[in-house]
Chains A and B, each alone.
Chain A
Amino acid sequence: MKLNVLLFGCLLITAKLNGQDKLPYAEKAAKLQKEIWGAPVPEFKATAIPEKFEKESAVVIARSYSAQRSSNSKLKFMLITAGVAIKTVKVNTFHERVKINDKSALEDFSTIAYQKKLDKTVNMLIVKFANTQNTFIGAKIIKPDGKEVVINTSEEVLTQNETKDQQGKLAISGLQVGDILDYYVCTVDVSEQADGDRYKDNDNIFSLVDEYPVLYYSIDFQFSKNVKVKYIYANGAPHFTESRNSDGDLLLSVQLRDLPKYKSQLWSSPMRQYPYIEIGSSYTLDPKTMGDNLISKQSSMFEGNKVVFQDSFVEYADFDKLVKKAKDFFGSTKAMKEAPLDTLMKVLYDQWKFTTFGEYTENQMSEVGDINYRRANNKWAAITLSIILTDMKVDHEVLLVASRNSNSLENSYTMNDFDAMIRVNGPRPIYMAFDDVVTHCNEIPAVFEGEKAVALRPKRKNATKYLFTSSETSLPTSTSDKNLIHEKLKISLLPTNMQKLKVERNVKQTGIMRHDHQKALIPIQDIDNKFMTLTKGEPLSKRLSSVKQTKKMSKDYEYLFNKQREELSKNFNAEIKSKFDQEPEQLSDFKIVNYALLNTNEAFEFNSTFVLNNLVKKAGNNYIIDAGKLTGGFLKLEDKDKTREADICMPAARTFSYTLSITVPEGFKAKGVEELNQNKANQTGSFSSSAKLVGNVVTIEVSRVYNNNFEKVENWVAFKDLMDFAADFNDRKILLEKNI
């Protein structure tokens, strides 16, 4: 941790500090230092660390975070009128006492960078709207002999030194391995500009695991009584003790001991697996029925955000643009109404996709590589489609769901913590997820599979008000055969150099397994053209010219898209390099066979031909082929991942299969083929390989199946066994023996 608090913005204030507002910076700093170091709790006096932590890089002996916030409204008199401004004062103090045990930790804790002062106060004639931030830091070193050395913070250097903007850096002098560093960072924010008053502006997450062992950790909040506060205890996090002082201020406090270390592991989902506390506060002048005030009234942050989401159902002008396009597509309203439900939904979905991803801005020119990676605003899309479907009287629900890789739905804190999609109810449900340009209609993104969701069934009251019935549901999970990679490799030894392999490769990918390569390999122009044709949409030049900012950019985009297509070989090259861990030679015949942009054509398919090195060893007159490595290799666990305490959260149930056809050169015979026949299966999946020699071709069929996207840790042994078994295949070889 290079201590960098330039972005450390946050909370708190005490009455004491309010009183100090007018004090010069140096005096404030001195007072704060006295308060923070003056009467420490015993944990902040400790110097000993348990023996078991001697091999740790650093040990946090004590850490405290205290935050105070007061907000109130007051009249601001301007020349003509008067308005109400909120004055919010936040004081946020982070204090830590760390034992430095090695040079790595010494490096981490030896410098600190911070925004010392920032003044964005606005003067409007006779009225001033304050907005200031001051940061105060302090550090002292406790030497092994107990001697305390207070760091002279005036040794800082200012990298920005304007009256209203000062940024500082301080190198901690005298700090050595074996020392204890006791330091604090305190920020004081005063604002009358209402730019940091809402929950979203004051959202703090306290992870209760750490990169270092933490012996003691206290978290304290104080909020003036009119400030609204919401918090979440996730994954078994301990609870605050709540109380109020004589002024009615809300006091929240929790003390923790012996925090575990965070262990970074393969296939984990930290926001689901480690305890954390999320807390925020709000004080707004919104009407009671809007925004944060509406959220504050609900039982949880998720419920609050759900209500705000529901309130967003408003029939804006041209909301039914997609319906008009669908009508054009079908040729008449009658034809549209007579279309089967699934056809109609697919047409609407494709129209949405083309409308969304067929638009380009003037800024995207400089980042053409990112265009295929654009993500839709799924909440906006779900609301629009839901309004349309309601109008069309199509039975459906809006599903609110959180990613498997993030917080759970019930632990959502802000609107960004969950997503929205649509389920159309019919003989078979049709799912519409508004994700990326390659997601199909009725394809559920892997991150939502198996997740609990809240289903909102809308009912129109009027153009600006919809009513909802809410229920709980779960999203289905796809099976391993739906998320498939199948590769066919025709392999031969180059006659000119038999230690080089010529590979003719055909790859088919379905489900989640196709997304990454579709976005990496398909030229933007091809995607655009496909959807334009499919939806009978307008040509690119017309679309660009209909928007003011891109009105004259038709040639620009044409040039850009052509240039991107010219670089297609680079994308194929990169794909092969990542697969086989080496730069391919003589890349040729690279081609996308099937774009798989529609759910009627599910498998993304591409071909390429190239030469690989270092997979054939010479042994006298014979050659040994690293057959196992021709699959690209199966994942091998690192030692740190071999023991596991957390459940296994994988992207999806999935299948990898390979057909390797190796031509045995004339004058040679293949040995070791039969040893490639192996298989193993258990409840978590399977691995099989079978090989046969027919004529002069050795054909090896390899299959690796992961049955589920999630395994309980109880299954880890079985899971690991299968991984080890599959990884052993990486070392399998075939001997090509010279005929005598």
Chain B
Amino acid sequence: MSCCKEYAQSISEYLDGALTEKEQQLLLEHMEGCEKCRNYLAELAAMQDVLAESEAVALPEGFHESVMNKVRAKKRAKKAMLWKRYAAVAACAAIVLVGAVRLMPDFGANSAAPEAAAGGADIAAQMEEGAASPAEAPAAAETPSLGGEVRAVEDAVEEQKGYSYASETELLADTEPMEKVESEEELPFPIVRGENVRETLLSLGATELSGPPWLLVPVEVLESLPEGLELVGEYDETAELITVLPEEVAA
């Protein structure tokens, strides 16, 4: 029945109420004289009816909580990053303070200077490693609560990586709104950042997803990003197209 092959798509669109009046009229005229097409329509309609009545799916237990926990964990990770920044600033301030004390013997007891200097070196070493627990350094005694906070938050982040939420409710009790999520390691998609990142990726063959910021980027483009663009996070190297979040960073 070759005629039916021609009409198959019209029949499908007719079923969805998507034909124009004229198209519909043509189809109906054809079907008047074509039993096979009438049967075909009836069969598609039967499938549609049965599918539409397919039972509703129950949400798995704990799904909602799990999503919201991760949303909150993202905020938490952002906070941890902020704390780390504050802590680094505080550590710098401590070093400057120690230096100042050493340079002005009039204001510091002679015996206190070496200790303070040792404390400063300690902090400098920690900063090189990217660590941010100044409270452990004796000279940073001005910020005793900071180190504790940082550790608690880091614990929370650790915990969240392991998807264990045992004590998270308490840990996440204080969550004020914030403007932007920056938790890189928790993003389900990799980030590419740099100047004119969006335009550059598009010019290299990325596709735009209208609406959201995401871009679909061919995997070979990610493998050899041009200079100035940086990839953050992991992606599936076996896929052809990778969903990527571009992040504009001025050079």
Q: Do A and B interact?
A: no
